[in-house]
Structure 1
C-alpha cells in the first residue's frame, strides 16, 4: 500500500514547532502531536486499480509541484506587507508585490496540486459523479467503491492541468500574512475554479504556513491589473475568519502549529460543507478590493 499525501511533506514541514512537531485535531476533539510527515496522508489515495497491468498511481503527477512548493513559499514569504490595521480601508492596507513568470508558474502548479488532492475536493467529485450517474445513467450503477474511485482519479487527471492553466491566467494573487494569530490547514479549500478559460471568474483561498495564506481571484470577462500580486497583514479577527472557512471545508482533521483555533460547529458536525456559490462576505469583500487595487 502506498502512502499518498494530500498535505505534502514539502509543505507540512513549514508548520513544525521548535520540537519538530505539528498538531492534528479531529472533529471529535482528539488532539495528537507528531512529525508532520505522519499527517495528511491516506493509503492508496492516488492508486488507480484496474485489476491488471494497467493499474497505476497518479502520485507522480504531483512530484513537480512538490519539488517546487518550498521555493514558492519562500518567494511569497520574501514579500513585505504594511502593518495591520482593521480600521483602515483595504486599499490603504494593500502593498504591491511582484512575481516573475517562473514563480507564477510554480505558484499555479503548487496551489492546483493542493486543491485537487484534498479530501474535500475529492468528496465533491464523488457527489457530482453520483448525481450525474443517477440522473443520466440510472441503469448503469457503480459496481463498487473502486469504480467510483477510478472515475474520481480520472477526473482529477483532467482537472489538474485545467486548474493550473486557470491560475496561470490573468488574476490577482493576494498574499495574507499574520504575525499575531496562526492560520490552520485542513482537508479542503474554498475554491470555484472550473476549467482553464481565462474569461471565467474564479477564486480560491489556501493556507500555506501558520503565518501566511494566499488567495487568487479573477472577475468575469477580460481582466488585467497591475500589480498581479498584493500583500496584506491580517488582524487576529481576520485570521479567525480564515480559519472558520478552512473548518467549513474540513470533515475529519485540521492541523496547526501551536495555537488551537476557535472550533466551529461545522467542523464538529464531521461533515464536508461547502459555502453556497463559494460566497463568504468577509473574504468576498477583501477579494473585491484586491481586484480594483492598482499601484499608482
Structure 2
C-alpha cells in the first residue's frame, strides 16, 4: 500500500486544551514578545510550530510522532479539574513552612496522569528543541560539515523519544502544586528545569517548575534522598513569592510569555529574546523552597509533620559554587 504523504500541520507545544484556561473574560489569550509587543487572540492561535514533529526523510521513510501527545492533550481538561479539587493551607508566607505545606493523596492513576501531562509539555517545549538544535549543530560543526544547520527533521529525530523517557522517569519522585490567589502566574515557551534534552542521564537531582495555569504551577523533584510519602504536596504562595517565580520564568522563556489578567513587567533577561538559564539551574530563593517541598515528612519526629535537615538542592548549588571557585583558583 502506498503511504500517504505527510500533510503540513501545526503542532502545538502549548495545547489548545490548556490554552483555553489562559483566556481572559473576553475569551482572548494575551502574549507578550521580548520587544514588549502585546498580541491577543483566541486560544490555540499561539504556541504552535509547523511540522515540528514530522520527520521527512523522503518517500516511505517519512513519519511523525505527533499522535503520542493525543492522550495527555485529551485528558488536560480532566487534569485541570482534578487540580481544582486539591486543597492548600491557608497559612501565611511568614509562618513556618511545615505549617504551610499540605500533604495530598496521589493514587497511581493520578501519578501516571501528572507524569504524562508534565512530560508532554516538557518534551515538546521550544526550550528543549532549542537545546537539541544547539547540541546537534555543535557536533555537526565539529565533524566539519559545510552546513551544520539542524533542520526540523533532525531536531524531531532527537526529540522523538523524550516524552516516554521523561514520563517513565517522572513515575518516581515527588510532586508539588503551588497555588496562588493573590497574584497570577505567567507561562512561557521555556521554564526552569534541569532535564537533559536526551534520553540518557535522567538521574537524581532533577527538578522542574512549570506554570500550567494562572493559578497553579507544577513542581517535580527527584533528589537523591526524600521521604517516600507523601508523593504530592501543595503550597499556597503569597504575591511576592509569585513575583519571584514570574522572574524565574522570564529567564527561561525566549519569545512568548502568556498571561491571563495580570500583565507582567518584562525583565531584562526576557528582553534578550533567547532561552537563558541560571548557572547549574540553581537559584538562591527557589532551591531552599524545593528543599522544603521535597523533604517534608507527614510523620516526622514524634509522629508530627516535619521537614528533614537534608538540603539536597541548596547543597548542590553551594557545591557547584565551590567547584567554580576551585577551578578559578587554578586558572
Equivalent residues, number = 290
Q: 1:168 and 1:151 mapped to 2: Cα distance?
A: 29
The higher relative CO (CA closer than 8 Å, separation ≥ 6) is in: 1
When the two structures are superposed, what TM-score results if normalisation uses the length of structure 2?
0.83
Could you report, residue by residue, the CA deviation over 1:154-174 in whole angstroms, capped at 9, with x for unpaired residues?
2211222111111111x2111
- The equivalent residue for 1:109 is 116
Deviations 1:146-203 (CA, angstroms, capped at 9, x unpaired)? 3xx323212211222111111111x211110000111111001211134577852211
1:21 alignment partner in structure 2: 28
- Residue 212 of structure 2 is matched in structure 1 by 208
Where 1:38 maps in the other structure, the secondary structure is coil
Further displaced range: 193-202 or 180-189? 193-202
Q: 1:156 aligns with which of 159, 163, 178?
A: 159
1:128 pairs, out of 130, 135, 138, with 135
Q: Relative to structure 2, which stretch is displaced further, 149-158 or 88-97? A: 149-158
TM-score by length of 1: 0.92
**2:61 aligned counterpart, secondary structure:** coil
CA distance in 2, matches of 1:159, 1:198: 11
Q: Does structure 2 retain, via aligned residues, the 8 Å contact 1:186–1:246?
A: yes
Q: What does residue 60 of structure 2 align with?
A: 53
Q: What residue is the counterpart of 1:272 in the other structure?
A: 275
C-alpha separation between the residues in 2 aligned to 1:84 and 1:264? 30
The Cα offsets for residues 110-169 of structure 1, whole Å up to 9 and x where unpaired, read as: 10110111111110111111223334xx234556543xx323212211222111111111
Query: Which residue of structure 2 lines up, in the alignment, with residue 12 of structure 1?
Result: 19
- 1:223-281 alpha-carbon deviations (Å, 9 max, x no partner): 54211111010011111111111111111111111110121101111121022111112
**Residue of structure 1 equivalent to 2:80:** 73
Question: Distance in 1 between the 2:84 and 2:146 partners?
Answer: 48
Distance 1:56 1:181 in 2: 43
Offset of 1:54 from its aligned partner?
2.1
Name the SS of the counterpart of 1:33 in structure 2: strand
Among 171, 184, 187, the residue aligned to 1:185 = 187
Match of 2:246 in 1: 243
Task: Measure, in 1, the Cα distance between the counterparts of 2:229 and 2:25.
Answer: 39
Gaps of 5+ in 1: none
Query: Please, which runs of 5 or more residues in structure 2 have no aligned partner?
Result: 1-7, 300-331
- Show CA shifts across 1:59-83 (max 9, x none): 1121111112222222122110012
Partner residue in 1 for 2:323 = none
The structure 2 residue matched to 1:43, chosen from 46, 50, 59, is: 50
| Greater Rg by CA | 2
2:125 equivalent in structure 1: 118
> What root-mean-square deviation, in Å, do the aligned CA atoms of Structure 1 and Structure 2 show?
1.8
